[in-house]
Structures are given as structure tokens and as C-alpha cells.
């Protein structure tokens, strides 16, 4: 397979636009509102979406995203199967490099933040205490698949043939980072914006991993490793 900058985008505009709408409109707004309403009809005192509804949203998102993005996944699978060991080694090297850089970035963030963790991190910790199985599923299965297809497979990959790596990677990293602080911004908690650096750093290294491996499975694997380590540290 040629370098990403030399390859044509494997998804049609229709597929790419559908996936973006499905995530940014469906997952971020439409589905939560629909199932929140259904939950309240079942239990007027409920404070969060029923866990089975939430699990259903995750499974639906994964199924639709994989189906529509199949040409992208098929292309990356061909690359992965040529030399899977090399891709795994690259991911492990990127993981070490990421944590070195991430320590520095987080120290900078803590210097300018009035909290020790983002609102998103707080929500994950709280969800882990209430619904551990669903939270693990969303972080270890849903996020590596759906978010990588959206932010690296589409946002990064579509720009790569037209722009240099740094520009395409920073754009996808910004979108990825903003999604993780978006809810805080929408309710006026602009202090959480500083965590754009932390999440953006993750997004940048995920794009770099995709670039180095030429396979979306590389960034998926790194995403999985990062989330798995985060949960292990949380449990310990």
C-alpha cells in the first residue's frame, strides 16, 4: 500500500457525510434525547439514560459505523495482514512516546486548570462506579472503533492527500479534543477548555500512529491500549 498522502480516500462522499452526521447529530444529540425521554417515561425519577438503552446506542453505533465504513476497514486490513507484527511494534513504541509527551502536556494543563481532571474524566469515573461493564465496553470497544473511524479514518484521512501531516493531524486532534470538552463548553464551563491540550495530544498521536502504520487498526489498537491502561490505573 502506498503512503496515506498518496492514496485516494476509500469512502465516497455520501458514506463519509453519513458517518459524520450519524455521529455528530445522531450520537451526540438525537439518540441521547430519544432514549432519555423513553427512560423518563419508564421511570419519571431517573437521572440518567437506562443502562440497557445506553448499551443499545453503543452497539447500534458500532454496527452502523463498521457497515458504512467497510471500504476503509477492508483497505486497512489488507495493510495490517501484510505485516501485523510490525504494526503492533509501532503501536507499542508510539504508546511509550505518547506517555512521555503526555506527562509534560498534563503538567502544563494542571498549571492553568483549577481542577485535577476534566468534566469528561469525572463522568467516566462516576459511570464506572455505577455501570462498570457498560463503561468498560464504551471505552475499550466502542471508542477505539467508532472514534477512530470518525476522527482518523475520515477527519484525518480525507485531508491527508491534500495537506501535510501536521495540518491534517492537528485538525483531527482539535475535533477529537473538542468533542471531549464540548458538553462543558455548552453549559458555560469554559475552564474545561484547557483540557483540549490533553485530549488533543491523544488525538495527535493517534493520527501519527495511523500515519506510521498506514492502517486504521494501528490507531484503534493504540486507542484501546491507552484506555485500558487508564482504567487499570483507576482500579489500582
Q: What are the tens digits of pLDDT across the range 63-80? A: 999 999 999 999 999 999
CA distance 29 to 96: 35
Checking if the pLDDT of 193 tops 60, the result is yes
Q: Identify the CA nearest to 114 among candidates 202, 184, 177.
A: 184
Domain boundaries, the chain: 72-235
- Residue 117: pLDDT band by 50, 70, 90 thresholds? confident
Q: Given this model, what pLDDT does residue 31 score?
A: 96
**How many other CB atoms are there within 10 angstroms of residue 53's CB atom?**
17
Could you tell me which residue, 183 or 220, shows the higher pLDDT? 220
Identify the three-state secondary structure at position 47: coil
**How many other CB atoms are there within 10 angstroms of residue 16's CB atom?**
21
Amino acid at each position: 500500500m502506498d503512503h496515506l498522502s498518496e492514496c485516494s480516500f476509500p469512502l465516497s462522499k455520501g458514506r463519509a457525510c453519513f458517518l459524520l452526521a450519524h455521529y455528530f447529530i445522531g450520537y451526540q444529540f438525537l439518540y441521547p434525547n430519544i432514549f432519555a425521554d423513553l427512560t423518563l417515561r419508564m421511570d419519571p425519577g431517573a437521572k440518567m439514560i437506562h443502562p440497557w438503552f445506553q448499551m443499545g446506542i453503543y452497539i447500534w453505533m458500532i454496527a452502523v459505523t463498521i457497515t458504512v465504513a467497510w471500504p476503509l476497514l477492508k483497505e486497512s486490513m489488507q495493510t495490517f495482514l501484510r505485516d501485523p507484527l510490525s504494526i503492533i511494534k509501532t503501536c507499542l513504541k508510539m504508546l511509550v512516546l505518547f506517555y512521555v509527551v503526555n506527562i509534560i502536556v498534563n503538567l502544563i494543563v494542571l498549571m492553568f486548570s483549577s481542577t485535577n481532571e476534566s468534566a469528561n474524566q469525572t463522568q467516566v469515573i462516576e459511570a464506572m462506579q455505577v455501570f462498570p461493564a457498560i463503561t468498560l465496553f464504551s471505552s475499550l470497544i466502542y471508542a477505539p472503533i467508532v472514534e477512530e473511524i470518525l476522527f482518523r479514518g475520515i477527519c484525518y484521512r480525507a485531508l491527508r492527500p491534500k495537506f501535510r501531516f501536521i495540518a491534517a493531524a492537528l485538525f483531527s486532534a482539535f475535533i477529537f479534543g473538542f468533542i471531549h470538552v464540548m458538553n462543558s463548553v455548552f453549559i458555560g464551563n469554559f475552564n474545561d477548555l484547557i483540557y483540549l491540550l490533553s485530549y488533543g495530544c491523544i488525538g495527535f498521536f493517534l493520527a501519527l500512529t495511523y500515519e506510521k502504520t498506514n492502517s486504521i487498526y494501528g490507531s484503534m489498537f493504540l486507542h484501546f491500549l491507552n484506555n485500558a491502561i487508564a482504567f487499570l490505573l483507576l482500579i489500582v
